[in-house]
Amino acid sequence: MPPVIDWGLRDYAESLDAMRALVHARREGAVADSLVLVEHPPVVTVGVEGDDGGAARSGLPVVNVERGGHATYHGPGQLVGYPIVDLEPRNRDVRRFVHDVEELVVRAVEAFGVKGRHESGRRGVWVDGSRKIASIGIAVDHWVTFHGFALNVDPDLSAFDRFHPCGFDGSVMTSLARELGRPVTLAETRPAVVTAWEDLFGRPDRAPRPEQATAPSVSARSPA
């Protein structure tokens, strides 16, 4: 099964450097496809589509990154996953990869009885089409993916009210704890995420197509 690496609670900037090092190692074949699980201290990250200036006014640390999408929040009580996956044996299919990352979260929250779903034209995982429980934002470097998903397990949701997460009003954000009406820990949530990761990424699901385009250096494809 593809490895799972648990970084625990780790500073975002430090994690970003370590993630980029893993991408390089994956490109070189030094490591296998891997999922990093991590929890960050409070921070707002801004993707390549920028934001409306709200991130800077939020009073939280802000980091600009190469992933797709706008601004989003990371903080305690949120389980962040960084799939480091070589898309060469997966047909270089970025769209399918993003769908599978969403599906990973859908399956994980379903283990708690929460019905998450994909919403056409709105990246991430949604409950009842109106409440967003997870954000998705990826980048691709020579067909190796990085960045990933942020699943709201039991964070302080009021942090999202300080800016416009992914271009939405902060009130759209929800969490496992809010949906279940009880506290939920990351320790409870990790096994469901790992099971979904192994089911969806246990092996390449399609043969490579050599005729596809040359690998991009960095290509952000998914809104947060």
Mean of the per-residue pLDDT values of the chain: 88
85: pLDDT strictly greater than 70: yes
- Between CA 158 and CA 4 the distance in angstroms is 30
Q: Are the C-beta atoms of residues 224 and 166 closer than 8 Å to each other?
A: yes
pTM, two decimals, is: 0.88
Residue 223: the pLDDT is 40
What percent of the chain clears pLDDT 70, i.e. is strictly above it?
Answer: 90
Coil vs helix vs strand at 1: coil
Mean pLDDT of 193-221: 60
Query: Is pLDDT larger for residue 176 or for residue 1?
Result: 176
Torsion angle, alpha carbons of 30, 34, 36, 37, to 10: -150
pLDDT band for 203, please (50, 70, 90 cuts). low
| 47 is annotated as an active-site residue | no
Query: Is pLDDT larger for residue 185 or for residue 123?
Result: 185
Q: Are the C-beta atoms of residues 47 and 137 closer than 8 Å to each other?
A: yes
Identify the active-site residue in 48, 79, 140, 166: 166
Nearest to 153 by CA among 189, 181, 118: 189
73: pLDDT strictly greater than 60: yes
Q: What is the pLDDT of residues 19-28, one digit of tens each?
A: 999 999 999 9
pLDDT band for 152, please (50, 70, 90 cuts). very high
User: What domains are there in the chain, each with its CATH number?
Assistant: 4-220 (3.30.930.10)
